[in-house]
Structure 1
Amino acid sequence: MSPSCPHRHLQLDVSSHAAEAGFQRLPLAKRQAATTPAGRAGTEDAVAEHARLEALFPGPLVLPGDALAVDPKEPPQSLRSWIQDNMRNPVTQRRKTIYVVPAPQVGPAVSKTVSSWTVPSPSRAASLKGKCEAPDVELVRQYLEAFYYPLPVRLLPKEVRLVPWTGGNAAGRSKKQQDGPQYIGLQVGGIVTRITTRRCPDGAFGRQLRLSNILDAALDALPDDAYALVMLVAHDTYEDEHDDFCCGLAYGGSRIAVVSFARYHPLLDEAAGVDRDHAWPFAHCAAFVERLCRGAAAAGSRKKRKVDNSQVTTAAQPLADIIKKTLEAGARSDGDLSALWLSRVARTVAHEVGHCFCLTHCRYYACSMQSTTCVAEDLRQPPYLCPVCLAKLTRAVRDVSKGAFDETRFLIERYTTLARFCKQWERAAMFAGYRCWLEKRIDALQGGLPAERDLGNQELF
């Protein structure tokens, strides 16, 4: 990690840009109320306890260009509103499995053209030293299985590949663009779906695939016992004609999602404006936050703005300890690039599957369910679920528990499972920081248990 920035001061709440953008964070009592089924704040003691919990849950940064700065009035989704959402699909004993679909193999009939579309163009790719392999689908599956513990997560047992499109309107090459076929086929098992392609607007890749078409294929592939299905794609993707690209999309009510890992390639970081040294957890560095805010304001005023010290801390604080231990773990921004790529994709896949649980974008805290406008913002967001979003997931899996549901025990087991996965990949800063964060949450939860309580080997799920 760059020694030029020691991350000595931390930004624990919204940035100075938030007020300029019109974003106003909900007060503590309303944040606590959002975690309750009734949607009402508890006693003073309950609110005070929630305040102590927030030591590990900083506010959203709301930096210039961030989603919450662009759309500061996006309505929040409390636990109560999530419970009342009639579009929500319940998790049941029959339908509780999450399926992961590997990125399609490229069939021989289209390999000459379509394979090249996954390689970043030399004009957009920075020089890269070291080996960098695409994320292994089995590792993505393992991460999802830990994140959505205790639900089973399986690979879809069907052949998935890209083939020529031979159905109606098989135009071959586009009339306007002679750099590739306008349509290709996505074969999942015995069903082939037409996928529209287009030239990549910013030239980062040769061509892109349309997400809505891929989601059509995902819907056809959804097994009867699936709660949700997420399909990985190695190619660059887009949602509509106005996008340069889109990394992921979910149809939550239909329980399907697609994630492209093309734009998370470390080769593209420089072109995407990614500051690896200030990805999460280092994104809460106050100097970094103020630099971005000051830079955005420079066009209107050259006057240096004063940092709001009420939102900055230098004290012994859990996040400061997490950053220190992440640095000590030796996770370097220029280290294991394959682990770095995996960490980015794992976080986004968990986010998109979260939409299948009917979780909307979060505005309460820095959270894995925050919306994003670009890759740089994406990498500044944490991998964990905030107290509000976690309350929704906890309630979703409670219905498939055996016997009485012990929420504290569930959280400890979920966090322990995630920490075990992260330990294997501490070469990436996100996983190293996440493991430390998880261990602090486990310690806090265990500290709140009665001394005689036995978590033993009881079967919870």
Structure 2
Amino acid sequence: MPVHQEPCQHKVLQLEPSNFAELAGYKRLDARKRYAATTKSGRAPRKKEGHAVEDAATELAQSFPGPLVLPHDDLNYDPTSSSQSLRSWLHEKERNKPSQQRKTIYVANIPEITPAMASMEDWTKPILSPDRGDPATKKLESLVSPDVENLVDYLSAFYHGMAVKKFPQVLKWVSWEEEEGKSSTKSRPPGVPKHVGLAYGDNVTRIRARPSPDGLFKGQLDLNDILDAATDMLPTDAYSIIVPVDHDIHEGEEDDFCCGRAYGGSRICVVQTARYHPVLDRGNKIDHEHTWPASHCKDYVDGICASEEIEPIPAVPTQIGASQLGPLRAAISAASLIPPPSTIEELRVLWFARLARTAAHELGHCMGMDHCVYYACNMQGTAGMTEDGRQPPYLCPVCLGKISHAVACELQHGSEEARKVYVRQRYEALGEFCKRWEGNGLFAGFGAWIGERLGKVEEEESEH
């Protein structure tokens, strides 16, 4: 009989980068520089105030821990990635400031598959093999992809103060007629043409297609071509537009796949749902017990580092003490009460939660934000599906400063005090959204994290 394994208690939390980070070449900026990154001046506190800054950083880590930097993470491959402070973001020449004329984020409907392109329906279904999927999950292949209406609601809370609307035109996959003698079917399975068309209104954009290199999906689309279509369909009052698609996408011949991409200067982004399908979790080695927020469990982190022969460092009393309280602990406690998703509806919500986090990330690039290297943050880069599941839905102090300034100060012409009020109101809007989705671990955890974080924000307001 199989040995029953007790659930992990996540007793001690990893609030700083892992022991592997040094081997990877990642060196985190110190507390003074992280503080400076949140200010418009870019100045760090005077050195004689260093102890106060360090003490504040220790408490702040209970809300905003450092990036984990585990083997095969994005910061493992690019450990010296440049940092973008609030000051450098403010002076970014290509950044688009929101205005009363351009303040709407449009969310396109997932393109419909027309009868002429009925074969594209099969492209959205993962091709499972014995080593990629459990036969018991076969029933999930009929799972319906996330609802765009829910995505609009989430983004309305995440980008509180911006108008978030569905794009009014229907998008459709249509046939793209090849010139005689120009099309090539060499090495292409039946039903995967060289090009397909993406129609919107009276326009059709040619989208290159190919089989997925890893064989996980029958067909795959070129996201750069979809971004071209997004550029053409951008409404005059749009701040940005996001185009979700149910098909696997890639961004170049050498690329296996890409979950999403944004070009900030062009105000356009694309995300896919296909790779987030829960039926792929076993093949992707997703540890549901240690997705965010429990990804910061020290035992879990030490176990991954052991694969690189990194010996764990015993937790010190301060680390143990800091692990017991704060927003991250509240998030883990709340998420731990949610059983692993098993019903079709629970798995569909899991699928939506993954899409929502990535959509918010890509739209952050449209806001002019680079990948975050300061903290574990929704704006971190990701190198794969496992890392994707470990990352949080919140914005760190540096990235939150950018969004709050863009909306409260640039769009709404508010003061610094108005910006602080905006931060609280944004948390409240996100908290209300999470309450409606408490049966999902990510949203339950995020809601609990927000509740604790709001208490700290209100405490800071009363002190001033």
C-alpha separation in 1, matches of 2:452 and 2:372: 23
Q: Does 1:59 align with 2:66?
A: yes
Q: Does 1:332 align with 2:337?
A: no
Contact 2:243 2:271 in 1 (8 A): yes
Q: Does 1:137 align with 2:155?
A: no
Q: Which residue of 2 aligns with 1:23?
A: 26
| Residue of structure 2 aligned with 1:379, choices 355, 378, 389 | 389
SS in 1 for 2:461: coil
CA shift, 1:171, in A, is: 4.9
Gaps of 5+ in 2: none
Q: Which residue of 1 aligns with 2:171?
A: 160
CA shift, 1:103, in A, is: 1.1
Q: How does 1:84-95 map to 2 (within 5 A)?
A: 84-95=91-102
Q: Which residue of 1 aligns with 2:302?
A: 290
Q: Which residue of 2 aligns with 1:395?
A: 405
Q: How does 1:214-293 map to 2 (within 5 A)?
A: 214-293=226-305
Q: Which amino acid aligns with 2:15?
A: L
| CA displacement, residues 43-81 of structure 1 (integer Å, 9 cap, x when unaligned) | 525665455333200000000000001110101000111
SS in 2 for 1:249: strand
Quick one: structure 1 residues 5 and 333, their matched pair in 2 at CA, closer, same or farther if it must change by over 3 Å?
Answer: farther
| Residue of structure 1 aligned with 2:330, choices 310, 313, 321 | 321
C-alpha separation in 1, matches of 2:185 and 2:230: 25
Contact 2:156 2:164 in 1 (8 A): yes
C-alpha separation in 2, matches of 1:155 and 1:371: 27
Contact 2:62 2:329 in 1 (8 A): no
C-alpha separation in 2, matches of 1:225 and 1:170: 42
User: % of aligned pairs identical?
Assistant: 42
SS in 2 for 1:196: strand
C-alpha separation in 1, matches of 2:362 and 2:413: 27
Q: Does 1:418 align with 2:427?
A: no
Q: Which residue of 2 aligns with 1:457?
A: none
| CA displacement, residues 66-109 of structure 1 (integer Å, 9 cap, x when unaligned) | 00011101010001111111010111011010000111000111
C-alpha separation in 2, matches of 1:170 and 1:432: 56
| CA displacement, residues 254-277 of structure 1 (integer Å, 9 cap, x when unaligned) | 000000010000000111121111
Contact 2:330 2:445 in 1 (8 A): no
SS in 1 for 2:261: strand
Q: Does 1:353 align with 2:363?
A: yes
C-alpha separation in 1, matches of 2:339 and 2:404: 31
Quick one: structure 1 residues 312 and 70, their matched pair in 2 at CA, closer, same or farther if it must change by over 3 Å?
Answer: farther
CA shift, 1:427, in A, is: 1.6
| CA displacement, residues 409-460 of structure 1 (integer Å, 9 cap, x when unaligned) | 2111101111111111122111010000111111111122339x9xxxxxxx
Tell me the TM-score normalised to structure 2 length.
Answer: 0.91
CA shift, 1:399, in A, is: 1.5
Q: Does 1:36 align with 2:45?
A: no
C-alpha separation in 2, matches of 1:361 and 1:24: 16
| CA displacement, residues 120-159 of structure 1 (integer Å, 9 cap, x when unaligned) | 1132433326784311000011100100001010000001
C-alpha separation in 1, matches of 2:188 and 2:266: 34
Q: Which amino acid aligns with 2:401?
A: A
Q: Does 1:114 align with 2:120?
A: yes
CA shift, 1:332, in A, is: 2.5
C-alpha separation in 2, matches of 1:277 and 1:347: 18
Quick one: structure 1 residues 47 and 151, their matched pair in 2 at CA, closer, same or farther if it must change by over 3 Å?
Answer: farther
SS in 2 for 1:10: coil
CA shift, 1:245, in A, is: 0.8
Q: Which residue of 2 aligns with 1:301?
A: none
CA shift, 1:333, in A, is: 4.3
Contact 1:286 1:312 in 2 (8 A): no
Q: Does 1:306 align with 2:312?
A: yes
CA shift, 1:334, in A, is: 3.8
**Equivalences, count:** 443
Q: Which amino acid aligns with 1:373?
A: A
CA shift, 1:326, in A, is: 2.1
Q: Which residue of 1 aligns with 2:133?
A: 125
C-alpha separation in 2, matches of 1:165 and 1:242: 24
SS in 2 for 1:420: helix
Contact 1:120 1:204 in 2 (8 A): yes
Q: Which residue of 2 aligns with 1:342?
A: 352
Q: Which amino acid aligns with 2:436?
A: Q
| Residue of structure 2 aligned with 1:209, choices 204, 213, 221 | 221
Contact 2:12 2:315 in 1 (8 A): no
C-alpha separation in 2, matches of 1:403 and 1:202: 50
Contact 1:23 1:68 in 2 (8 A): yes
SS in 2 for 1:94: coil
SS in 1 for 2:311: coil
Q: Which residue of 2 aligns with 1:459?
A: none
C-alpha separation in 1, matches of 2:201 and 2:180: 22
